[in-house]
Every structure is written in structure tokens, then in C-alpha cells.
Structure 1
Amino acid sequence: MQPDQRKKSSVDVDFFTEYGEGSRYRIEEVIGKGSYGVVCSAYDTHTGERVAIKKINDIFEHVSDATRILREIKLLRLLRHPDIVEIKHILLPPSRREFKDIYVVFELMESDLHQVIKANDDLTPEHYQFFLYQLLRGLKYIHTANVFHRDLKPKNILANADCKLKICDFGLARVAFSDTPTAIFWTDYVATRWYRAPELCGSFFSKYTPAIDIWSIGCIFAELLTGKPLFPGKNVVHQLDLMTDLLGTPSAEAIARVRNEKARRYLSSMRRKRPILFSQKFPNANPLALRLLEKMLAFEPKDRPTAEEALADPYFKGLAKVEREPSAQPVTKMEFEFERRRITKEDVRELIYREILEYHPKMLKEYLEGSEPTGFMYPSAVDHFKKQFAYLEEHYGNGATVAPPERQHASLPSGCCKTWESCRFSIALQQLWSCSGSRGS
């Protein structure tokens, strides 16, 4: 064999070795299903870890949905932090020009905070403190990157039985740039209503601040304390009623700052309500916890603490350490240039493909050098996975978990542990701190 041939053969072997992704992951069982597709647990034979593989179907059917997926995978690549869920890998699609599904490999988490709250009525003050600390620590990192999450709720907080929480679902998140027209921020649906800040209920063309996420964290914390959503509004008006029932009628000055005329008129005509004492609403809670909660649920955004200020609150004395609460580098305009223009389906496909290549260094190098064959159909691991996912989806139902054919495995817990009494905070804290040491800004 000539040297050039040997060289070419070696490159081919390297490529096909890298692309042997289908054999890398052993699909185990369905752990979730939604409008986006299906999530399966899997075993990573390279690392020995169990992971979650999310199949996202028909992502280019609507440009808005594809843009949301692009935004999420891009942000999760840029925001690496122990309190934010991690994308470990994204499978390479069979064709750069024609793919329509993607397979995203996440770290596997056992449950979410919604399930934890629903299944556990014996959470302790230590749980509450540790949970809130992690949420604020993750939020500090997100906000210092100039990112607003905009859809924080218990279902978007993943959880493990060791009390570790991780923020997920950045599809509605936005990067704040000082020269961005404020109206851009209001062009789509923002935040699930129950966790939506007052300024999102009443001032639709006002530029908002990171305080919207602080309000959502306050609502989540209150739900932890009581086991029930704090403001389960049936509509926007009902939502404002529930807020003012607890917090009292806003001051005339606060109402005057509401930009939406209908909301301003409604609040002005509302009967005068006195605020309810938080100690009365949450009778068994730590007074320091309630003092912080009251600050986070201030009606006016300017009166809420930042995540960094909240972490310095006396409630976290003995737990918080500023050196273990890293800040992020601000996300650059270049990364989110697509948000500032109208983009086509083909544009989004190319941008998503470019993100996928971040997990395939050799392919990325070829792409950047312009030497990647654009029309080549790869021997795709996706084809291998399609059959297994199709089988699992067909047999998934009634909450049952189903293994693919000819697979034997010990099932992973897909829900929350029945009791969290076994949670060892010293171990959880050690894991948290060791992560932060290797994943600083």
C-alpha cells in the first residue's frame, strides 16, 4: 500500500471509529415522553455512566421550534456549571442537509422537583435550605452570563435522590444585550403563568430584568414549604388577584410604573388589600427563610435581590461560600447573532448542525477548513437508534417502562425516591463543592 493510501485508510478508520456512536450507547428504557419526542435511559460503554438520550422529532417543521432547540443546545454548551444540566454529546446526523431528528445525550437525573414536592410531605428545613441554595447558585451563574431563563418552574428543575438539583430547559431563555430593542424580548410566550412575575402579567412592552427569574425561584421555594403552588392563577387577572391577596395592593407609585394600561386600570380599581404576614402564611418555616422569601416576592422588580445578594443572605450562614459560587463570562453577541435577524429553516438547520459538530472535533475541524463533504450520507448511528426508539415508543404506556428487544438490565429509577430521609447532606455538599472547583467561570 502506498503512503497516501495508508494515510487515507487511517483517516477513514479514525472517522468510522469516532462515528461508531451506535454501539457506544446501550438503550435501556423509556423514562419520559412529550410533544418533542421521547427520552430513554442508556448506558455509555465508553465512560460507564448512565445517561438520558432525548430524541427530538421533526425539529424543522416550525422555524420557531427549531430556533428554540438551537437556543437550548447552544446555551447548555456555553453554561457549564454543576447546578445546570449538562449535554454530554449529540449524535452526528446522517446528512448535513436532510436530517430532521436529533439525539441529545444528557446526564441522567432521576426525577424533577415537581415530582419531589408531590411525592414527599416530610421534607426538612435542611432540604429547603439546600435546594434554594443550589437554585440561586445556578441562577447567579446564568445571570452573570447575561442570560435570563424566563421559564423556571419545578418541572424544569431536575433532581436526584442525593438532593442534587439541576436547572434545565433553556428553550425560552434569552441573552440580554444592551443594544437589543426591548420589544424583541416580548415576541413570544414567556414563563408558565403560576411562576410568572407581576411585570410579565401587566407590562408587556417594558424591558425586564433578571428579577423575573428571582420571582420564579421565590414561587418555587414557597411551593417547597407548603407542597402546593403559591399562585395557581386560572388567567392573568386571577393571577394578579392571588398575588395581591398575599402581598397587598401595590402602592400608587408602583401601579403608575405599570406600562400596560388595562393592567394599570385594573390594579387602580382593585379594593384595598392589606398584605398577609408570611409567618401566618407559612407558620412552620424558618423566620430567616421567610425574610428572604418576602424579598424575592417583592411586587416591584427593583426591590428583589439579585441571585448574588440572595446567596449572601443570613439564611445561608454556614452553607454559602462565595468562592464556591462562580460567575460566568458574559455570552458574546456572535453566539446569538441569529436572534437579531429573521432566519429561514435552512439557516437554523445549518446552525444546529454547527452546534452538533462541537461534540465531534474532527468533523468540526474539517467543517471549519471547508473540506467536509456536504452531500455524503454517513453510516449513521441514528439509523441504529431509530429502530430501538420506535420499539420503545410503541410499547410505552400507562407509566410502564419497557426494555428494547434482547436487552437485559437492572431498571433505573425513573421517579423520585419514596423517602428522602437517606439524603446525606455532607456527601451531597462534597459532590457540589468538588464540581465547582473544576467548573469555575
Structure 2
Amino acid sequence: MAVRSRTGYYQQEVNRTAWEVPERYRDLKQVGTGAYGTVCSAWDRRMGTQVAIKKLHRPFQSKLFAKRAYRELRLLKHMKHENVIGLMDVFTAEIALDRLRDFYLVMPFMGTDLGKLMKLERLSEDRVQFLVYQMLKGLKYIHSAGIIHRDLKPGNLAINPDCELKILDFGLARQADAEMTGYVVTRWYRAPEVILNWMHYTQTGKPSSRFVSSGVEEKAKRKLTFFSLLAVDIWSAGCIMAEMVLGKPLFKGSDHLDQLREIMKITGTPAADFVVKLHSQDAKNYIRSLPKVPKKDLHSLFSKASSNAVCVLEKMLLLDPERRVSASETLDLPFFSEYGEAEEESEALPYDQTMDNTDLPLDQWKRHTFTEILTFRPPRDSKETSL
């Protein structure tokens, strides 16, 4: 029996999954898939442009999935910056809340990401400068909203053919994710304080790391009295810039402890004042047990880069997060002087995180999500989200 679609919608099978989308979106082709959903490219006949449509994987199968889907929708609706992925449309073929099973997010189609780009070619310093400038502008905007990315890596930096960059998946790396899929933040770009502060030893003596959930929560604030939460993203940004300059990852640890060893080969082993500030006794003992290594000179490590480029790396890749620069401060460094346009380096309206810290039943998350879908208004200035 043929399934009737809602008026103005049609059905198409994509990789053995039924997609039900408005007539305006045509020529669906799968371009990516992950734990939480599948992404297709499509032609938007109304706008005359290519878009990316994400179908979330069973968003209402559990309270955890429903809360995550709600959060992703709210975050995307909030973001209105040229270097951060924003929402062009959101839709569901269902017209009644009790029948809501799926919904779809429409975003700009970018074409590639920094990880793929770096595999294809070695980037000139001019391009490194332009891409890092855009990444930091995006980070400044996200941070000003009170959101921490926590999983910044080359694969989360989308790039279009004009070398314009947008940050993806901000604020979504939560504790719940690892419980759901076994997936944790990519190790090579992870800030040392995240590893150190969640270093818990099991009976076997092997370390395991727990990760605090995203969002500036009271629990996190108490745990991270010393650590600037935003500095976690600055470290990742420094690792990404270093990889762009070197043509290979800077810290390629095989496990958590090896990651720390790789980091300290370059930053040097920390001074006593840093160790004192650590919360975990295991972490303190571990650091104190390490042989003393001096800090490496980054100018010799990045010998082909300009001194202005190395200056940026020196300020971002500091072991002590209290001493790391902010995204805003980094943008003022000489390396970015030719791009310094203050009006473009905008800040966001604060993102209301009240709901992020609530525990609601599944049907309430579903109702809130349905309300967010129904109240969505496409951006008036399409330049905000669409390239």
C-alpha cells in the first residue's frame, strides 16, 4: 500500500530509509551519516541553491535522544553568524504532536571540511590565516552566547569552495553521548586539563576519563573553579592551526596518558603552581612522577611559519588554561591585522540554558521540540546562515 504524504510533501528512499520532505527540496543524495543522523545534499528550488538536510536518527526513542534533539534544534535556531552553521529551515511531515516521529534540519551545504581539505593539499600561510581567522570569529560568537564547543576538530569545520568556514556541532559533545555510543571527544585535539581533571584510575591502574557535560552548568562551575571552560576550545583551535601549518597532527597520542606525554614533550612538564591547582590527586601524582622536560621553542618546531603565526600558536597552546588567550584576544594579534574588522567580529545574544539542565519526561521534550519547529522563522537576511 502506497503511503500518502502530507500535501506539499513527497517520499523518497535514501539508503533504505524513508525521507518525507517538502516538494521544494529535490535531488536528495546522502553525503554523510553518523550516530545521530544522516545528512543529504538537496536542491532547494525556492532559493535556487544547494542545501544540506539532516534527518535525526530516531530522535524520540528515549528521553536522552529527545533532549539531545531538542538542544540541537534550539542551538541551531540561536546561531546567526557567518562562521557558525545556522538553520535555514526545519520541518516535519507530521501535523499532530502525537504522530511526531521524525523531523529534519536544513542547513547551508558547504561541500567539504578542513580534515578532508588537509588530506588533499598543504595549505599556504595565507589560507591558514584566513581559515583560522574565521574559526576564531565563530568561536568568539559561540563563546559570547555562553556555549562551549568541546569537540572542535578539523571534521567539525565545514568549508565551501570559496574557502569560507563554518563551525558545526557546537555545544553538542555531552556526557550522555559517550554513554549512548561509546564516542568521546577526539583525543588529539583535547585540552590537557580535560584529561587531567577527569583522570580516574580503575582497579587495574589504567586511567579512564570522564567528561563533564557541555553548557555552563553549576556542577561544571564547581568542578572547574580553576579551569576556564572556554579555554578548552582555544587549545583545540591551537592544535588545528598547528596541523594546518605542519600538514600533520601536532599531538598524536595513542591513549589518554600518551596524549599527555606528547603534549608535554612540547609544552614542557608543568611547574608546581600548575600542579597545585589540579583537582585530581591521581593527576597530581602522575605529573609529579614525570621526568622534567623543558618547553620546546615553537619557532624551531614551526620553522617554515612566520613569527606572527608562531606567536598565535604560543598563546593558544599554553598548558595552563588560565594563561591561554581568549578567541577575542587572539583576533587582535598581528597575524590577523589585515582582517581585523570589528563589526564582523560580532557577539551573540545569550543562549538560555535553563532547559539544558532540566530532567523532563519524553513526551514533554517532544512537545517542546514540536513548539520549536512550529515557531521557526527562516532568517530574513539569508546571508546570516546561507553562503
Q: TM-score range by the shorter chain?
A: 0.7 to 0.9
Deviation at 1:98, TM superposition (A): 3.2
Pick from 221, 224, 247 the counterpart of residue 206 of structure 1. 224
**2:354 counterpart of 1:337:** yes
SS of corresponding position for 1:27: strand
* Superposition pairs of residues 168-317 of structure 1, within 5 angstroms: 168-170=168-170, 172=172, 191-204=185-198, 205-207=223-225, 208=227, 209-317=229-337
- Large movers: runs of 4+ above 3 Å: 15-21, 186-191
SS of corresponding position for 1:32: strand
Paired position in structure 2 for 1:404: none
Deviation at 1:21, TM superposition (A): 5.7
Paired position in structure 2 for 1:118: 119
Deviations 1:295-337 (A, max 9, x none): 10111111111111000001111211212211112223xxx32
Alignment coverage as a number of residue pairs: 339
Paired position in structure 1 for 2:81: 81
- The residue identity in structure 2 corresponding to 1:206 is L
Whole-angstrom CA distance in 1 between matches of 2:137 and 2:184: 22
Which has a greater percent of helix?
A: 1
Query: Residue 29 of structure 1 contacts residue 40 of structure 1 at CA under 8 Å; is this kept in 2?
Result: yes
Going from structure 1 to structure 2, the CA distance change for 1:280 and 1:338 (only over 3 Å counts) comes to: same
Paired position in structure 2 for 1:35: 35
- The residue identity in structure 2 corresponding to 1:74 is R
Deviation at 1:267, TM superposition (A): 0.5
Deviations 1:271-317 (A, max 9, x none): 00011111222110111111111110111111111111000001111
SS of corresponding position for 1:255: helix
Instruction: Give the TM-score normalised by structure 1.
Output: 0.71
SS of corresponding position for 2:98: coil
- Bigger drift between 97-106 and 132-141 goes to 97-106
Deviation at 1:132, TM superposition (A): 0.6
Query: Residue 9 of structure 2 contacts residue 22 of structure 2 at CA under 8 Å; is this kept in 1?
Result: no
Tell me: higher relative CO, structure 1 or 2? Use CA pairs within 8 A at least 6 residues apart: 1
Query: Residue 69 of structure 1 contacts residue 171 of structure 1 at CA under 8 Å; is this kept in 2?
Result: no
Query: Residue 268 of structure 2 contacts residue 296 of structure 2 at CA under 8 Å; is this kept in 1?
Result: yes
The RMSD of aligned alpha carbons is: 2.7
Whole-angstrom CA distance in 2 between matches of 1:275 and 1:196: 19
Deviation at 1:63, TM superposition (A): 2.5
Paired position in structure 1 for 2:25: 25
Going from structure 1 to structure 2, the CA distance change for 1:187 and 1:144 (only over 3 Å counts) comes to: farther
- The residue identity in structure 1 corresponding to 2:78 is L
Paired position in structure 2 for 1:7: none
Going from structure 1 to structure 2, the CA distance change for 1:274 and 1:135 (only over 3 Å counts) comes to: same
Instruction: Give the TM-score normalised by structure 2.
Output: 0.81
Whole-angstrom CA distance in 2 between matches of 1:303 and 1:282: 21
Whole-angstrom CA distance in 2 between matches of 1:301 and 1:234: 23
SS of corresponding position for 1:320: coil
Deviation at 1:170, TM superposition (A): 2.5
- The residue identity in structure 2 corresponding to 1:107 is P
- The residue identity in structure 2 corresponding to 1:264 is K
Paired position in structure 1 for 2:208: none
- The residue identity in structure 2 corresponding to 1:96 is L
Deviation at 1:18, TM superposition (A): 10
Whole-angstrom CA distance in 2 between matches of 1:22 and 1:226: 45
Deviations 1:224-247 (A, max 9, x none): 111212222222111110110111
Deviation at 1:77, TM superposition (A): 0.8
Structure 2 unaligned regions, length at least 5: 1-5, 11-19, 199-222
- The residue identity in structure 1 corresponding to 2:311 is R
Whole-angstrom CA distance in 1 between matches of 2:103 and 2:383: 28
Deviations 1:355-391 (A, max 9, x none): 2113369xxxxxxxxxxxxxxxxxxxxxxxxxxxxxx
- The residue identity in structure 1 corresponding to 2:164 is K
* Superposition pairs of residues 428-439 of structure 1, within 5 angstroms: 435=383
**2:345 counterpart of 1:325:** yes
Whole-angstrom CA distance in 1 between matches of 2:296 and 2:346: 36
Same amino acid, percent of matched pairs: 37
**2:347 counterpart of 1:353:** no
- The residue identity in structure 1 corresponding to 2:346 is P
- Bigger drift between 108-117 and 68-77 goes to 68-77
Going from structure 1 to structure 2, the CA distance change for 1:243 and 1:82 (only over 3 Å counts) comes to: same
- The residue identity in structure 1 corresponding to 2:355 is F
Going from structure 1 to structure 2, the CA distance change for 1:194 and 1:64 (only over 3 Å counts) comes to: farther
